Amino acid sequence: MRAVVYDRYGPPDVLRLEEVERPARKEDEVLVKVRAVAVTRADCATREANRRSGVAVSLISRLISGIRRPKQRILGTEFAGDVEATGAAVKGFGVGDQVFGTSGFRFGAYAEFICMRESARIAHKPRDMSFEEAAAVCDGGLNALWCLRGAALAEGQRILIYGASGAIGTAAVQLAKYFEADVTAVCSTKNLELVRSLGADKVIDYTQEDFTKNGQTYDVIFDAVGKHSFNRCKGSLKPGGSYLATDGLRNLFLALWTSRVGDKKVVFSIPPRYTKQDVLFLKELIEARKYRAVVDRCYPLEEVIEATRYVETEQKTGNVVLTV
């Protein structure tokens, strides 16, 4: 089968298309013919061993992924496709079923085929949804869901989502509205109408206004793109408020510290623990027309380097997807 592989850490150019052996399914697994796969921030960070996050985080990344070279040569986690074959113990899926899901830190989805356990984070694809849209569901959706649950977001609370037009941000706006919160979305000028269409009650153009200086306060501030800091946002949090972080080693220490000191908390729980039920929950929301995946651009698998470079500009809207 064709797959995108890499044998050393580095820039997007280390990625290349290669013929590799098709994975062999086990009794409790399905073999999925991949039709589309998302290019995520996690893929990019893993490929370069989190170099941009500093020496300490890069070392931790290498301890997980491989000290000198990557142990898993094929990246890609969020996928959609058709069931090609099933193991003898599989009951919930059949050949030809259209599915979507995430392989998590097992990666392996930048390829024509991937094996997934039936009990893993995989589900039947939502009705009337393209493979490209389905591949874009889990990255932002599961990340946003995990963070919002960590903050125990409740009906009527005020939440500000910074980076509301990215993969996590577009998901967070929709999920926060589902939880009946009052949502303020922060993004660039070009995406104001998009985030309004996703349900944001108020929008702030960060090129025109600094939300930390407008006198407004919130129960939750969700930094969906890792661009702000707790110290900068603290003054915009209500007493007892929570700052939701999506990355940054400093936030791990701040989460421990603020859980004991002060009345404003950093919420940063790693590693995230997504479940099959979480994927099924997103599927139900999609079929109830309460959630949609936002896709910015699609590239063929052969153009994975170009797709990755675009993701690393940090200017994408929603998700970037490879078609296989």
pLDDT per residue of the chain (324 residues) written in tens, 0 to 9: 999 999 999 999 999 999 999 999 999 999 999 999 999 999 999 999 988 777 877 887 888 888 899 999 999 999 999 999 999 999 999 999 999 999 998 999 999 999 999 999 999 999 889 999 999 999 999 999 999 998 999 999 999 999 999 999 999 999 999 999 999 999 999 999 999 999 999 999 999 999 999 999 999 999 999 888 889 999 999 999 999 998 877 877 887 888 888 889 999 877 788 999 999 999 999 999 999 999 999 999 999 999 999 999 999 999 999 999
Burial of 171 (0-12, 13-18, 19+ CB in 10 A): buried
Closest by Cα among 235, 232, 231, 192 to 217: 235
Tokens representing residue 70 in the block: 């990557």
Would you identify the CATH topology of the domain 139-267? Rossmann fold (3.40.50)
pLDDT of residue 64: 83
Tokens representing residue 256 in the block: 């421990």
Tokens representing residue 248 in the block: 């940054």
Q: Which helix (H) or strand (E) holds 257?
A: helix 249-258
Q: Is cis: bond before 23, omega within 30 of 0?
A: no
Stated pTM of the model: 0.93
* Beta strand extents in 76-121 (DSSP E only): 78-86, 98-102, 113-117
- Domain assignments of the chain as residue spans, ordered by start: 2-137+293-323, 139-267
What does the alpha-carbon distance between residue 277 and residue 282 come to, in Å, rounded to a whole number? 9
Given 3-state DSSP classes, what are the helix, strand and coil percentages for the chain, each rounded to the nearest 5?
35, 25, 40
pLDDT of residue 251: 78
Q: Hey, which CATH number is domain 2-137+293-323, 3.90.180.10, 3.30.565.10, 3.90.1150.10, 3.10.20.30?
A: 3.90.180.10
